[in-house]
Structure 1
Amino acid sequence: MLGCVIHGQDDLRVEELASPTPGPGQVLVAVRYGGVCGSDLHYWRHGGVGDFRLREPMVLGHEVVGTAVTGPLAGQAVAVHPATPCGVCPECADGRRNVCRDTRYLGSAARLPHVQGGFAAEIVVPAEQIRLLPDGLEQRRAALAEPLSVALHAVRRAGPVAGRHVLVTGAGPIGCLVVAAAKAAGAAHVTVTDLLPTALAYARAAGADTVVRADDPADPGWPGEVDVAVEASGVAAGLEACLRRVRRGGVVVQLGMLPPGQSPFAGNLVVSREIELRGAFRFDTEFDDALALLARPSTGDAFDALVSAVVPVREAESAFALAADRGKSCKVLLDFGVG
């Protein structure tokens, strides 16, 4: 079977891999689609994500859907929750399994041996990570479940957003899904900023009410103030915009992963305006909520518009190059069901 294996910086290979055999409590899944994530791109372009560096070849990918081959759901379309929390650490005991200190996450170099990912024609995962797709949800759209879960968790970290004005800085795939998640949660108005017109067009498709060029302080779309801000760009300038635009006593959620090391930010505003600055990392039960939201007929067009390309697995490197070009794409999927 074919799989996408990263060997080091700029060294992505589509290789023939041995088909896995499920053990007790595991399920064999025939993967159909895998979404190329920002972390996959970091492994490809930089040989690591933050402090997590590649130390051995690793199958990439953690946004995967397909068909269960074994187990009670054999023959049915499923999505794969990519996290396996330890279940015993203080965070798991406190109901915050998304920040488990000993979790295993598909396609992650955080531990050695690395946790092999889902970009392979067949994978084996713990049975508890398998989710049956809701009726009517096709696999192509279901491939957005993992990144949408990240967005849903970020919106929940912000607290109630119904009837409120939400600012989202960064209109990459996650930022656009934050727009959709905020609108689904009842946000009255969502403003999105980015540097690229193409990215802002995707934000519009996701449901943004106003889009703003982040590099144009005179853009009339800039709000005077907002109730909630979600930083999804992963750059210090985005956090600065959130802190300066959120109202006194408002909430800023840092979702984008900032560069390694120290990042400057307007800390005095956090004090003088009593702004609540909260982090958002991955997700837990939001995965099931994401599948339910994706299955709603009323939300289908917005999500489908974010899938900008579906590329055969044999052309993985061109798919990664397209996914890295934010002027041309939003979410790019690898197709493991074609030659």
Structure 2
Amino acid sequence: MHATGLVCRAPGDLRLERLELPEARPADAVVRIRYGGVCGSDLHYWQHGRVGESVIREPLVLGHEVVGTVEAAAADGSGPAIGTAVFVHPAVVCGNCSYCRSGRQNLCVELRYFGSAARFPHTPGAFASRIVVPADRLIDVDGLAGTTAALIEPASVAWHAVQRLAAVATPLLGRVAVIGSGPIGLLVTVAVRARSAEVQVFNTDIAERPLEVARAVGATHTALARDAERELPEFAPAIVFETSGSRPGFDLALRSVAPGGTVVAVGQLPPDIASSVQLIVGRELVVTGSSRFDHDATAVIAALHDGSLEVRPVVSHVFAAADFEEAFAVAADSALSSKVLLDFEGVDR
């Protein structure tokens, strides 16, 4: 069985190629992919050939934010039926380690994430016309528009970040800040708003366009990064979500959160980060990380169905997969775009 996939071979070397798919096992389904969201990690592989310590050492099919339709159901009868619209959960876990058994599959010691060079051989991604995938990774999304369902993965990352507050006994009250208003930052704002209509939310970014979208999805205050240096400490949020993954962003989070407040680190910080960590002690801050998601996708899908989670304003562009070069260039420019989607319909022609 063959497919057409988007393959990164080296920095700047991205191409559509014919793929030979693995033979489906009894518990595998075949999914025809319709939409895929371009993530920051996809951009890093394309631009730099790496994401942090994960370096491309062989051709890598990109993509992990995808939705599609079941083309062939699992032979063992598990999973959705042929023709079902599905979200593809991009994490394959062992199911046996202590983290999996305790419901924290996102921390699985054997975790493999679609479109990742973290392990070798690499884990192929899902930017392809069709993929073979374990049927237990599929969740029914019939009734949702495809371009909405395509945001389930990043929305689940954001939802999980908000859920992390409960893990550190922090109520979602008062004033909240979101540093960085890329797709994840915007979706954190959406998730906060879905959980509480009463909180005030302050979004920051280095560009004006993301702040316009932030206001559209519920931010009550916004500021460019240069102005946030002054305005955010005055706002004194009790909770700060750091989604930029930058050293200045994390420093601002520690300096601007109110004493006794909570910082949730969502963005992937640089390995050599040297921040004002002494503030954690002197101001009795709670700092917690948030990595991907586990069961949050189910809650996100329910919230999309009932309308309490509105993600449509976050989608800025939809490109045919054949126009991937333009799509990636636009996605890399935060002044032009928020979430960019690839449409894989007809890419095999």
Whether these two folds match at TM > 0.5 is yes
The equivalent residue for 1:313 is: 321
Letter in 2 for 1:29: V
Q: Shift of the alpha carbon at 1:86?
A: 1.2
RMSD in angstroms over aligned alpha carbons?
A: 1.6
The equivalent residue for 1:168 is: 178
- Give the TM-score normalised by structure 2: 0.92
Q: Shift of the alpha carbon at 1:219?
A: 6.3
The percent identity for this pair of structures is: 45
Q: Shift of the alpha carbon at 1:221?
A: 6.7
Letter in 2 for 1:200: L
Letter in 2 for 1:227: A
Whole-angstrom distance in 2 between the partners of 1:254 and 1:217:
18
1:47-196 to 2 correspondence within 5 Å?
A: 47-71=49-73, 72-133=80-141, 136-159=143-166, 160-186=170-196, 188-196=199-207
Q: Is the 8 A contact 1:190 1:210 kept in 2?
A: yes
Whole-angstrom distance in 2 between the partners of 1:297 and 1:120:
30
Q: 2:199 matched to 1:199? A: no
**Range with bigger deviation, 14-23 or 107-116:** 14-23
Whole-angstrom distance in 2 between the partners of 1:220 and 1:259:
25
The equivalent residue for 1:26 is: 28
Deviation digits for residues 146-167 of structure 1, max 9, x if unmatched?
A: 0001101111112354432111
Whole-angstrom distance in 1 between the partners of 2:23 and 2:322:
23
Q: Shift of the alpha carbon at 1:267?
A: 1.4
In structure 2, the residue corresponding to 1:65 is in which secondary structure? strand
Q: Shift of the alpha carbon at 1:110?
A: 0.9
Q: In structure 1, which of residues 326, 330, 333 is the aligned counterpart of residue 341 of structure 2? A: 333
- Give the TM-score normalised by structure 1: 0.94
The equivalent residue for 1:235 is: 246
Task: Give the aligned length.
Answer: 335
**Range with bigger deviation, 159-168 or 22-31:** 159-168
Q: Shift of the alpha carbon at 1:276?
A: 0.6
The equivalent residue for 2:76 is: none
Q: Is the 8 A contact 2:242 2:263 kept in 1?
A: yes
Q: Is the 8 A contact 1:158 1:252 kept in 2?
A: no
CA separation of 1:37/1:217 partners in 2, compared to 1, >3 Å: closer, same or farther?
Answer: closer
Whole-angstrom distance in 2 between the partners of 1:62 and 1:299:
21
